Amino acid sequence: MAKGRVWVLDTQTKGTGANMVPLERVLTKRGPAAAPEFVFRKPTPPAPVQDPPKPREFKVVDVMTREVLAEGADAAATVRELEQVRSIVDVTVYVWEPTTERWRMLTLDETKALWEYRGASKPTSAHTN
C-alpha cells in the first residue's frame, strides 16, 4: 500500500480562513517572530548618603532700635531670646536660607510658632504636700 501524504489545516494564514497544507510544510514552517528576550536591567547604584540638613539659623532684630538681638542662633537659642521680649510685635525674626544665601523674614504665623515655645524649657515645680 502506498503511503499517502498527511494533510492538515493551516490556521496561521494572513487572511481570513485556513488552508489545507501537507504536514511537512507546517512542521518546517517558521513560526511567528519570537518575542523579544527578557533582559534584566543592570541595577542602578544607590544614591549617595546625604549629610543631614544643618539646623536652621535665626536672627532676631528689635523693631524699635533695629538692634540685632541674636544672629546665627539655633531654634532653642531663638526661643530663649524671645523669652526676653515683651510682645511678639516688638521683634522681627529672620531665618537663613542657604539656597539663596539671604535672611528671609518669617511670616507672622511662623514667628507665632516660635513664640509659642517660650517658657517650654523652664522646669515646672512639683507640688509637695
Judged by DSSP in three states, 125 sits in coil
Other beta carbons less than 10 A from residue 81's beta carbon: 19
Measured over the CA atoms of residue 7, residue 8, residue 13 and residue 19, the dihedral's sign is positive
Residue 129's pLDDT is 47
pTM, 2 dp: 0.56
Instruction: Name the one residue in this structure whose C-alpha cell is 524699635.
Output: 64
- pLDDT higher than threshold 70 for residue 1: no
Q: Is residue 123 a contact partner of residue 87, using CB atoms and an 8 Å limit? A: no
DSSP annotation of 57 reads -
- pLDDT tens digits for range 77-123: 999 999 999 999 999 999 999 999 999 999 999 999 999 999 886 65
User: What does the domain layout of the chain look like in residue ranges?
Assistant: 58-115
